[in-house]
Structure 1
Amino acid sequence: MTAPPQRRDKTMTPEEVVGRLSSGMTIGIGGWGSRRKPMALVRALLRSSVTDLTVISYGGPDVGLLAAAGRIRRLVTAFVTLDSIPLEPHYRAARQRGVFALTEIDEAMFMWGLHAAANRLPFLPVRAGLGSDVMRVNPGLRTVTSPYEDGEEFVAAPALRMDAALVHLNRADRLGNGQYLGPDPYFDDLFCEAADAAYVSCERLVETRELTEDGRPLSTLLVQRHAVTGVVETPGADGGERADAAEGVDGGGPHGPRHHGLRPGGGPDRGSAECGGAGDTDPGGGGGDLDGPAPGPDTGRPGGPVLPDRRLRTPLGRRPHLCPTDA
């Protein structure tokens, strides 16, 4: 009789995660603005000598701290914000000094770049960016023409491939399955799938059965262990599970990311910090090599950019689930 496969314990310390990173890498950081950021891992990175990084992020305090410490060579982003402070202060200061190179693209282009990388495609065609200054300030972007009768022109959103991704979730098991408890998943699963190695920090490590036994939908199991290299428990480091579980609030308040129709925590938006929110909004810098104000969508309201509708992801047909066998 064949013995069942041994499932690998992927727990690590922040220092062990950073020990696997090296200067010159391309690092993706999950979350959205100031929300659900893996700040314990970012701080561990700051305590190391790793530098000269290309950072891919819907930026917030993570980008600010790394830029203020002079660790970024190039930033790829759609925005860098603290939400209630629309432009992250140290990012703004370093941007004005031209401290590092900046690739700033539309939020939807960024999302489809993650999709392309997760599916190992060189690019995906998108309408976002056409007729805007995104094309002017990013002369390296190319357009493609539909090979069908419509002949429509699209922007070829390049894949955002990464050497490593750092993301933060409310709960995870030792195998690498990660669960969010707030109303928005953001794009942490895509960051993990777009990277050669992915590291998940969490508020609390739990047994695998606990991820589903409280009746939460399987769709809250955002990150699957086949895409995860290591798991780090960082209780209290990012503001977290308590607010989400008790109130089901979104850290963005009334002008935060759009809900995608699932509110596993229940309750109204009341502007409280989600995991990785207000508890870790240390200002940090940023910079760029482009002149003039950065292009991109603006809600015209306080509270930061609006999250692209997650329904855009349904054509790829991916459904979160617990993997039946170890990755």
Structure 2
Amino acid sequence: MCKTITIKDATKLINDGDIVMVGGFMANGTPEKLIDALVEKGVKNLTLICNDAGFPDKGVGKMVAQKQFSTIIASHIGLNREAGRQMNDGETVINLVPQGTLAEQIRAGGFGLGGFLTPTGIGTLVEEGKDIITIDDKEYLLEKPLKADVALVFANKADKNGNLQYSGSENNFNQVMASNATTTIVETREIVEVGDLDPNFIHTPGIFVNYLVKGE
């Protein structure tokens, strides 16, 4: 059975220097209470893997503003000027990755794949330093998987075994991230008894979830 813990106890599982995946798309589907608690804790030198850098006052952007990340791996940062400033001033290493490639790197890391081939990025800056493999006269980039120490996920409902349901577009990166990390912590709006969720509509099985915290 998955363990339900407090927000404060959840933050104790994230330490300086960790690689952290955070669900959300422009902060939609981001575990905001966990983010707020990490801002308060002041954990630092983290590597962030996220779709984007949030907003200055919302999502992971609140941690960006506190300079809690030494490296950010994301698809775009255009909604957060502070992230752009830190990148341009050399304060934070920011690696921009095509969105589909990022999602597949996370999935590959979660499911034990050694990598995958994609034509996305051929002929652009994306291909620099990567292996190019030709198959049937077409060039592909070999993209390697990403792995995290901790995944911070947001769900609409969870049962006490950690089975998760997301609400609409809040799913976004949460589902693939939940399967990836060594430790998966889920902030959820509601925790219900085992059997209360229709098994036909469970998006993430509880085997991937280590801890639950009660959110909104």
TM over 0.5: yes
Q: Check the 8 A contact 1:199/1:230 in 2, yes or no.
A: yes
- Following superposition of structure 1 onto structure 2, how do residues 70-219 of structure 1 map, counting pairs within 5 Å? 70-80=67-77, 87-135=79-127, 139-146=128-135, 150-183=136-169, 185-212=171-198, 218=200
**Structure 1 residue 183: Cα displacement:** 4.8
Counterpart amino acid of residue 152 in structure 2: L
Counterpart amino acid of residue 129 in structure 2: G
**Structure 1 residue 123: Cα displacement:** 1.4
Q: Check the 8 A contact 1:188/1:223 in 2, yes or no.
A: no
1:228-285 deviations in whole A, cap 9, x for unaligned?
Answer: 11011112xxxxxxxxxxxxxxxxxxxxxxxxxxxxxxxxxxxxxxxxxxxxxxxxxx
Which residue number in structure 1 is paired with residue 213 of structure 2?
Answer: 232
Secondary structure (helix, strand or coil) at the match of 2:91 reads coil
Which residue number in structure 1 is paired with residue 40 of structure 2?
Answer: 47
Asked if 1:20 is matched to 2:13, the reply is yes
Secondary structure (helix, strand or coil) at the match of 1:200 reads strand
Which residue number in structure 2 is paired with residue 3 of structure 1?
Answer: none
Secondary structure (helix, strand or coil) at the match of 1:211 reads coil
Q: Check the 8 A contact 1:68/1:94 in 2, yes or no.
A: no
Taking the aligned partners of 2:157 and 2:121, their CA distance within structure 1 comes to 36
Secondary structure (helix, strand or coil) at the match of 1:36 reads coil
Which residue number in structure 2 is paired with residue 252 of structure 1?
Answer: none
Secondary structure (helix, strand or coil) at the match of 1:204 reads strand
Change (3 A) 1:157 1:169: same
Computing the radius of gyration over CA atoms, which structure comes out larger, 1 or 2? Answer: 1
Counterpart amino acid of residue 188 in structure 1: N
Asked if 1:35 is matched to 2:12, the reply is no
Secondary structure (helix, strand or coil) at the match of 1:62 reads coil
Question: How much is the aligned-residue C-alpha RMSD, in angstroms?
Answer: 1.8
Counterpart amino acid of residue 17 in structure 1: A
Secondary structure (helix, strand or coil) at the match of 2:161 reads coil
Change (3 A) 1:189 1:170: same
Asked if 1:57 is matched to 2:54, the reply is no
Q: Check the 8 A contact 2:2/2:206 in 1, yes or no.
A: no
Which residue number in structure 2 is paired with residue 223 of structure 1?
Answer: 204
TM-score, structure 2 as length reference:
0.90
Q: What number of residue pairs does the alignment pair up? A: 212
TM-score, structure 1 as length reference:
0.61
Runs of 5+ consecutive residues of structure 2 not aligned to the other structure? none
1:7-39 deviations in whole A, cap 9, x for unaligned?
Answer: x24111111111011111100001212211011
Aligned sequence identity (%): 24
**Structure 1 residue 208: Cα displacement:** 2.8
1:160-219 deviations in whole A, cap 9, x for unaligned?
Answer: 11111001011111211110122563131211111111011011111233222xxxx82x
1:89-141 deviations in whole A, cap 9, x for unaligned?
Answer: 32233233222101111111101101210121231111111122322xxx333
Q: Check the 8 A contact 2:2/2:209 in 1, yes or no.
A: no
Taking the aligned partners of 2:117 and 2:174, their CA distance within structure 1 comes to 22
Taking the aligned partners of 1:116 and 1:205, their CA distance within structure 2 comes to 29
Taking the aligned partners of 1:12 and 1:184, their CA distance within structure 2 comes to 22
